[in-house]
Amino acid sequence: MSPFRTLVLASLLIVVAPVTAQMPNGEFIEVKGATAAVVLAHGRAQGPDGLVVAPLRRAIAKEAGLHTLSLQMPVLATPDYLAYASTFPDAYETLQAAITFLSTEKGVKRIYVLGYSMGARMTTGFLAARETPPVVGYIGVGVLQGGGEPLDANINIHKLHLPVLDLYADATPLDLSSAENRRALVGAQYRQVRITGANHSFKGYESVLSQTAVAWLREQEGQEATDKPASADGGKQRVP
């Protein structure tokens, strides 16, 4: 047999391993039969099972029946939030890796993104900067203005063309003023919910946050909601 034919036959026997997308660092809750998922991004100096995102990721999986992937986002030692602008490229790579993993490895067809505090700055910046077809909705918790682009989540969120649930605290001045400056966005695609009495940490209001987010997600997914938040008035709600 000629060397050429030997080479051809050998090449035919090569088994090419399928290319798989790796799950980025984070906490994943898989729900059997789910075809939709929520990607969560935590606040500054936190982690995937940290403040706000921990109760939300569990409640969404249990009560809305969606996969949840809570990511480890970039964390810096400095308390200066402006320094986080340098981490946004890495944050965007992490978010894209999550979308790719869910789409290719878990068969997810619809993805919602949820960001809290710095996570809201990162996620709105990501969604404002690129087309992300699998993403069908956005939940912002403690969305804050300031810092200029890409840090200013108010600037970023104005660029989104998705259904949005905007959950804000009214006991922290920056949260309240930031939310007031987004009020003009409220409409059929944009719902703003005031969590009365909560500060930026939302401590003590985790159940209210979870119930409101779950009800909105069930609505987006066409499910019949069993526990609805306070009645809406032109897209704005107040939760006592």
Flag whether 3 is in a domain: no
- For residue 236, tell me if it sits in a domain: no
| 7 is a domain residue | no
Per-residue pLDDT of the chain (240 residues; tens, 9 = 90+): 555 454 444 444 444 445 689 999 999 999 999 999 999 999 999 999 999 999 999 999 999 999 999 999 999 999 999 999 999 999 999 999 999 999 999 999 999 999 999 999 999 999 999 888 899 999 999 999 999 999 999 999 999 999 999 999 999 999 999 999 999 999 999 999 999 999 999 999 999 999 999 999 999 999 744 444 332 333 555 555
**Would residue 178 count as lying in a domain?**
no
Which one-letter amino acid corresponds to residue 1? M
Q: Which CATH number belongs to the domain containing residue 88 in this structure?
A: 3.40.50.1820
- Residues 38, 99: Cα–Cα separation, whole Å: 10
Whether residue 219 lies inside any domain: the answer is yes
Residue 188 domain-assigned (yes or no): no
> Is residue 184 domain-resident?
no
β pairing state of 36-41 and 67-71: parallel
Residue 144 phi/psi, 5° resolution?
-120, 145
Q: What is the pTM of this model?
A: 0.87
Q: Residue 190: inside a domain, yes or no?
A: no
CA distances from 17 to 20, 104, 106, 170 (A): 9, 15, 18, 53
Owning domain of residue 136:
20-161+199-224
Strands, DSSP E only, in 54-151? 67-71, 110-116, 135-141
Q: Write the DSSP string, 153-169.
A: HHHHHTT--S-EEEEEE
Report the domain count for the chain: 1
